């Protein structure tokens, strides 16, 4: 899919440029730069407190970096208001499932058209593009996505009654419903059992393969990252520790040291 033209490099879909975030006195991110190519699955790893969620929140416009820029197809996303995030083509899921528990699956997926929740970031990330295109089109697209993620049989089930793994798939469906160019996944494997993690990995790869969607995967589950990521960026203490193929990063002495020194492995 990626073609190398002689003497030219394809411009990145997303470019993170020297991004820093400071909270009070804490430097949560310190001059982070990396590129994401179209169609790539990029794994963002690092021990607890490394800055993964902070970076994720910059990409989804929840945090404004103190320094640096984030470019989507060459345009800064930081000058755009957070409620335009889904229109810009960035879809996200949440580390802790953020569905509307008393609504059915189908209503959760289509809720973006009139989402109002306590959290603006949830509403902002759910504005569906189809509102302009009419209800009939919307119903068909929701149905397509439910079929694609094998959720049709629970379409009219209230979300709170579903197993956690299924709820995570509903969240994925809701993010896909915003028709993103880039899908941001924050610890999608959290709370899933071994088999569910395996199914999720297949699904993320399928979404990329079928739809050409670029994926940023923040994940503690090293097995998942190493099996589906094309490219891995490792953070530690807010800095980029290493970057490369899963094998390169896994074997990087600094990465090994960082993980040995942390309690979460
Ligand atoms: N809203 C905030 N206010 C103050 N400090 C914060 C805030 N969010 C994160 N931090 C600090 O910034 C640093 C990076 O945190 P972050 O949550 O990004 O790490 P992480 O890599 O996602 O960790 P984990 O694997 O535990 O989820 C930590 O020192 C954290 O305490
Ligand atoms: Mg985190």
Mean pLDDT split into 10-residue runs, the chain, 265 residues: 52 96 95 98 95 95 96 95 85 80 90 47 55 66 91 96 91 89 92 89 95 94 92 97 96 90 58
Stretch (H or E) spanning 44: strand 41-45
Three-state DSSP class for 36?
strand
46 lines ligand 1 (CB under 6 A): yes
Residue nearest to atom 31 of ligand 1 (CA): 49
Residue 113's pLDDT is what? Answer: 42
Distance separating alpha carbons of residues 247 and 232, to the nearest angstrom: 9
Which ligand has its closest atom nearest to the C-alpha of 28?
1
Task: Give the ligand whose atoms come closest to the C-alpha of residue 220.
Answer: 1
Rounded Cα–Cα distance for residues 211 and 39 (Å): 9
3-state secondary structure of 179: coil
Sequence-ordered alpha helix ranges (H) in 89-163? 105-110, 120-124, 135-148
CB 59 within 8 A of CB 43: no
- Ligand 1 in reach of 23 Cβ (< 6 A): yes
Give the Cβ contact number of residue 67 at 10 Å.
Answer: 13
pLDDT of residue 120: 53
19: left (phi over 0), alpha (psi -120 to 50) or beta: beta
CATH superfamily of 98-179: P-loop containing nucleotide triphosphate hydrolases (3.40.50.300)
Domain ranges of the chain: 12-89+180-264, 98-179
Question: Is the domain covering 12-89+180-264 a CATH 3.40.50.300 domain?
Answer: yes
pTM for the full predicted model? 0.86
Rounded-to-integer distance, Cα 129 and Cα 143, Å: 16
Burial of 20 (0-12, 13-18, 19+ CB in 10 A): middle
Given a contact cutoff of 8 angstroms between Cβ atoms, the answer to whether 186 and 90 are in contact is no
Residue whose CA is at the smallest distance from ligand 1 atom 1: 23
The predicted structure's pLDDT at residue 215: 98
Taking the centre of ligand 2 as the mean of its atom positions, its distance from the CA of residue 59, in whole angstroms, is 14
CA distance 228 to 212: 15
pLDDT of residue 135: 64
The token pair that represents 1 in the structure block: 């899919």
**Using CA of residue 120, residue 121, residue 122, residue 126, what is the dihedral sign?**
positive
Provide the pLDDT for residue 115: 41
Residue nearest to atom 12 of ligand 1 (CA): 28
For residue 200, report the distance from its CA to the centre of ligand 1, in Å: 25
């Amino acid at each position: 899919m990626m073609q190398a033209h002689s003497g030219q490099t394809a411009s990145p879909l997303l470019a993170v440029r020297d991004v820093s975030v400071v909270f009070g006195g804490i430097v949560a991110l310190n001059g982070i730069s990396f590129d994401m190519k179209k169609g790539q699955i990029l794994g963002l790893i690092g021990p607890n407190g490394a800055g993964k969620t902070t970076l994720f929140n910059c990409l989804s416009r929840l945090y404004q970096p103190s320094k640096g820029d984030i470019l989507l197809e060459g345009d800064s996303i930081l000058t755009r208001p957070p409620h335009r995030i889904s229109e810009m083509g960035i879809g996200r899921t949440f580390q802790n499932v953020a569905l509307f528990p008393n609504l059915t699956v189908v209503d959760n997926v289509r809720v973006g058209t009139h989402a109002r929740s306590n959290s603006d970031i949830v509403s902002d990330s759910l504005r569906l593009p189809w509102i302009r295109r009419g209800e009939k089109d919307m119903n068909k697209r929701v149905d397509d996505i439910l079929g694609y993620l094998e959720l049709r049989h629970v379409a009219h089930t209230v979300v709170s009654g579903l197993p956690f793994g299924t709820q995570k798939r509903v969240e994925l469906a809701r993010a896909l419903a915003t028709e993103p160019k880039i899908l941001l996944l924050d610890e999608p494997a959290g709370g899933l059992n071994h088999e569910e993690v395996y199914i999720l990995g297949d699904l993320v790869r399928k979404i990329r393969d079928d739809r050409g969607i670029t994926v940023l995967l923040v994940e503690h589950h090293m097995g998942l990252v190493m099996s589906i990521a094309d490219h891995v960026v490792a953070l530690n203490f807010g800095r980029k520790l290493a970057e490369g193929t899963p094998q390169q990063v896994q074997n990087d002495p600094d990465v090994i040291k960082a993980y040995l020194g942390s309690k979460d492995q």
